């Protein structure tokens, strides 16, 4: 914790639950920060979690009790800045200890204007969220009644298109691999780009880019990234994906998985409290292998809603669809995060599967003499 004098604060949920604690990180001028409160069960990787754009509009509760002990460093940022609304922790470390670290977590939060609250009973908070689902909340140094009113006025993430908040403003290129891949940035993580760059020169484009513009890059494949918010309001993205399906091999992750499924006639739903953490067991249906996966999503594909696809992966905790392979077109997607960042790397072979799909499609085309 900071050596400065403690700043009393509290967290108030929309159901009236109150948690007393201490303000850390950035202090909003009006003493109020808020958003949709979710919990993450990862034991490490707090910097990658905080900088994951998929948390736009949300307040992250860390279930692991000790956060900040190894500091932060620029190499572990997953985006240009945090997009989350704040963090909730049991204990913020008083000092950092890691040879890679060049800044304290609290200084990082202040620099990026991210509010936080520490000293919270995160076990009690997590139990409430597990019983009632992700809930809007507000926290800070303002009085309890002000925070309760702010919590009730929060919109959450239902029905919100948050992609516009996190997507790149202009196209840019990453890597120099042999394939040409266009990656839609719905909130893409840098670790994903590092994986794609091993096999391709990646052109990252804004989330509203048209299919015609994408095909103008003459890509060998298209990648649909992770991102925040409700896929049901991203009709502009679904429309362009519909035009791309069948023209070029497609690989989608997280929000990209949901948008691809929607473009293929599927439906999505909001989960009670989402999947956020690095310990979710996922079974690969074809082999029966179980992977421990990294996850961060509040929405999922409705079972049985995609008629022309095979379910490739299932979440063993609750049966959520974790992967789809489409029968008539070269496209597949997964709900979990094979790039990790943070989390286990057991599913990283899915990037090799994308490489194999590109080879299969383009070798077949070349052999047929099609240009």
Q: Is 254 a catalytic residue?
A: yes
Structure tokens at 286: 């074809």
CA distance 177 to 202: 8
The number of beta carbons lying within 10 Å of the beta carbon of residue 360 is 12
Structure tokens at 89: 């922790």
Q: For the chain, list the strands marked E by DSSP.
A: 8-13, 18-25, 33-40, 58-62, 66-67, 86-88, 91-92, 115-118, 135-140, 172-174, 179-185, 200-206, 221-224, 250-253, 268-284, 290-301, 309-315, 321-326, 331-334
| Residue from 22, 36, 240, 339 carrying the catalytic annotation | 339
Q: Is 336 a catalytic residue?
A: no
| Residue from 10, 84, 234, 254 carrying the catalytic annotation | 254
Query: Contact at 8 Å (CB) between 243 and 214?
Result: no
Contacts of 234 (CB under 8 A, 6+ apart): 161, 163, 186, 207, 255, 259
Report CA-CA distances (Å) from 347 to 109, 179, 298, 343: 31, 21, 20, 10
CA distance 37 to 61: 7
Peptide bond into 2 cis (omega under 30): no
Q: Helix, strand, coil proportions of the chain in percent (round to 5)?
A: 25, 30, 40
- Pairing of β 58-62 and β 179-185: unpaired
- Dihedral, CA of residue 308, residue 313, residue 318 and residue 321, to nearest 10: -30
Q: Is 337 a catalytic residue?
A: yes
Q: Which of 184, 254, 266 is nearest to 221 (CA)?
A: 184
Tell the residue number behind the tokens 């670790």, with chain if given: 191
Active-site positions? 254, 337, 339
């Amino acid at each position: 914790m900071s050596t400065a004098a403690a700043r009393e604060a509290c967290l108030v949920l929309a159901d009236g639950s109150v948690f007393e604690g201490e303000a850390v990180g950035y202090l909003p001028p009006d003493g109020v920060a808020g958003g949709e409160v979710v919990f993450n069960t990862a034991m490490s990787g707090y910097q990658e979690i905080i900088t994951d754009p998929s948390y736009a509009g949300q307040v992250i509760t860390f279930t692991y009790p000790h956060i900040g002990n190894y500091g932060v460093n620029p190499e572990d940022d997953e985006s240009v800045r945090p997009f989350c609304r704040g963090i909730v922790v049991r204990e913020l470390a008083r000092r950092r200890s890691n040879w890679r670290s060049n800044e304290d977590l609290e200084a990082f939060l202040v620099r990026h204007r991210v509010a936080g609250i520490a000293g919270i009973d995160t076990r009690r908070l997590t139990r409430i969220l597990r019983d009632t689902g992700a809930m809007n909340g507000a926290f800070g140094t303002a009085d309890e009644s002000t925070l309760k009113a702010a919590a009730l006025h929060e919109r959450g993430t239902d029905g919100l298109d948050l992609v516009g908040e996190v997507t790149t403003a202009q196209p840019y290129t990453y890597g120099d691999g042999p394939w040409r891949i266009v990656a839609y940035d719905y909130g893409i993580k840098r670790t994903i780009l590092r994986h794609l760059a091993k096999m391709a020169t990646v052109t990252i484009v804004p989330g509203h880019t048209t299919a015609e513009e994408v095909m103008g890059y003459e890509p060998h494949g298209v990648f649909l990234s992770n991102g925040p918010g409700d896929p049901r309001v991203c009709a502009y993205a679904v429309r362009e994906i519909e035009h791309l399906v069948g023209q070029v091999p497609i690989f989608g992750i997280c929000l990209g998985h949901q948008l691809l499924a929607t473009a293929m006639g599927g439906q999505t739903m909001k989960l009670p409290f989402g999947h956020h953490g690095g310990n979710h067991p996922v079974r690969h249906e074809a082999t029966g292998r179980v992977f421990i996966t990294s996850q961060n999503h509040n929405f999922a594909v409705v079972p049985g809603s995609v008629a022309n696809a095979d379910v490739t992966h299932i979440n063993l905790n609750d049966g959520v669809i974790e992967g789809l392979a489409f029968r008539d077109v070269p496209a597949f997607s997964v709900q979990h995060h094979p790039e990790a960042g943070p989390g286990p790397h057991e599913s990283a072979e899915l990037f090799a599967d994308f490489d194999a799909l590109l080879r299969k499609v383009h070798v077949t085309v070349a052999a047929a003499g099609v240009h």
